[in-house]
Amino acid sequence: MIRICVIDGQGGGIGSTIIRKVKEVFEETVEIVALGTNAIATAQMLKAKANRGASGENAIVQTVGRVDLIIGPLGIVMANAMMGEVTPKMAEAVSSSPARKLLLPLTQENVQIVGASALPLPRLIEAMIEKDLTDIHEGAEKHHV
């Protein structure tokens, strides 16, 4: 079973949307760990059917090295992103994790990804699931057979 870590902050809306869609497509063939930069974000992601959840810097730093895949907005690899909720230690831990990372190029930060399409969040998540996550999931299933 593939272990996916979804990281979000502030109100947890992005992470919740990701988790709902991933669970809808892959059901219980994936384990989703919700990591919030704060308790509100974690609570919202748990309501979206994450298997487990934790909040704060230490939870993120300790967990990202033990998952297969990390999903979240681009800000999770940028120190002081999300209105300062992403600490430098969090950003470093996510960036340094050996897990594969699927980052959504949301333009909430003062960073523009040249060439990235400006799709709305639901379309970005659909594209991520169809193109990237399905391939990763199928590869993991074949590897464990």
Q: How far apart are the first and last CA of the chain?
A: 11
How do the domains of the chain map onto residue ranges? Answer: 2-139
* CATH classification for the domain delimited by 2-139, as one of 1.10.3720.10, 1.20.1250.20, 3.40.50.720, 3.20.20.330: 3.40.50.720
For residue 133 the two structure tokens come to 């996550």
User: Could you tell me the pLDDT band of residue 106, with boundaries at 50, 70 and 90?
Assistant: confident
36 versus 137: the higher-pLDDT residue is 36
Residues 63-99 pLDDT 10s: 999 999 999 999 999 999 999 999 999 999 999 999 9
Residues 117-130 pLDDT 10s: 778 888 888 888 88
For residue 15, is pLDDT > 80?
A: yes
Q: What angle do CA 13, 63, 122 make, to 5 degrees?
A: 25
Rounded to an integer, what distance in angstroms lies between the CA atom of residue 79 and that of residue 90? 7
- Find out whether 99 and 76 touch, Cβ atoms under 8 Å: no
- Find out whether 48 and 36 touch, Cβ atoms under 8 Å: no
Rounded to an integer, what distance in angstroms lies between the CA atom of residue 75 and that of residue 101? 12
- Find out whether 58 and 29 touch, Cβ atoms under 8 Å: no
Residues 18-70 pLDDT 10s: 999 999 999 999 999 999 999 999 999 999 999 999 999 999 999 999 999 99
